[in-house]
């Protein structure tokens, strides 16, 4: 008995095999699309989780730096308030005149609009400058001291460290700067020497030098009045 199949039988068996496998239908294609969509969703979720996991420590560090900068600005306010109390108490100051920070920019950093024209905002107005820009204007040579020719000595505190480390030394990564602004400047109204705007800038740096990278800043603006007898500013 011969085991060989004729060519005709081979073709017949092949067609039977195709019929047994069954034709591809629309339902099988839809199933494949569902699998692809599920895999794409899982991949998206995985990437999102990985991103959050990797960026979490950075976000946490930035929040900590920002809180430390706020604490520095708040410490600057407390120190300046006590200093002003002493200045008025011992008669060194009789009002806020001649103690405002002015100049530093072409139209002065305390003037909001050029010539009082509301259509001409002053780009050098302190509220349109970053904290780092203001510090650089006060200390152009970055030696950690205010430039007297630029700031005219009108700074209550500049780059003042206030935190002590475990060895008892000042940690100069944390500093504050405080100055006074005439809140009537450039408005056309007469300047009132009995009140002003106290601006406190807290800074956190990567190292102890004023040229080290700034990690975070915080600015506080507080309206204060000249103390009356027996009161504090």
Bridge partners, residue 197, by sequence: 181, 223
In this predicted structure, the answer to whether residue 49 has a pLDDT above a threshold of 70 is no
Question: Which residues are CB-contacts of 81 (< 8 A; sequence separation ≥ 6)?
Answer: 224, 232, 233
- Ramachandran area for residue 111 (φ above 0: left; ψ -120 to 50: alpha; else beta): beta
Mean pLDDT over residues 64-90, rounded? 93
**How large a percentage of the chain has pLDDT more than 70?**
72
Distance of CA 48 to the CA centre of its chain: 25
pLDDT tens profile 190-209 = 788 889 999 999 999 999 99
Q: State the residue for tokens 């450039």.
A: 186
Question: Would you place residue 1 in the very low, low, confident or very high pLDDT band (cuts 50, 70, 90)?
Answer: very low
The predicted pLDDT at position 148 comes to: 67
Contact 201, 179 (CB under 8 A): no
pLDDT tens profile 143-156 = 888 886 555 558 99
pTM reported for the whole predicted model: 0.72
Give the closest residue to 152 by CA, choosing from 96, 102, 220: 102
The predicted pLDDT at position 97 comes to: 86
Could you give the strand order of the β-sheet that contains 214-225, starting from the edge strand earlier in sequence? 157-164, 170-181, 195-205, 214-225
How far is the C-alpha of 173 from the C-alpha of 222, rounded, in Å?
24
């Amino acid at each position: 008995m011969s085991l060989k199949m004729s060519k005709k039988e081979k073709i017949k068996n092949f067609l039977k095999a195709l019929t047994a496998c069954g034709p591809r239908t629309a339902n099988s294609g839809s199933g494949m699309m569902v699998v692809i969509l599920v895999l794409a969703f899982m991949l998206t979720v995985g990437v999102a989780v990985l991103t959050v996991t990797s960026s979490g420590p950075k976000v946490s560090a930035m929040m900590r730096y920002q809180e430390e900068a706020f604490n520095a600005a708040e410490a600057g306010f407390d120190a300046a308030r006590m200093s002003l109390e002493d200045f008025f108490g011992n008669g060194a100051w009789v009002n806020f005149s001649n103690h405002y920070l002015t100049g530093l920019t072409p139209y002065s950093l305390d003037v909001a609009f050029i010539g009082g024209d509301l259509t001409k905002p002053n780009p050098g107005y302190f509220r349109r400058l970053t904290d780092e820009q203001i510090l650089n204007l006060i200390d152009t040579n970055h030696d950690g001291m205010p430039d007297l020719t630029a700031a005219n000595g009108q700074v209550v505190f500049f780059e003042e460290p206030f935190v002590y480390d475990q060895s008892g030394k000042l940690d100069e990564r944390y500093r504050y700067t405080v100055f006074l602004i005439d809140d009537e400047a450039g408005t056309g109204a007469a300047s009132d020497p009995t009140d002003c705007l106290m601006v406190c800038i807290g800074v956190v740096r990567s190292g102890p030098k004023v040229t080290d990278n700034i990690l975070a800043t915080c600015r506080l603006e507080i309206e204060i009045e000249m103390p009356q007898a027996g009161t504090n500013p």
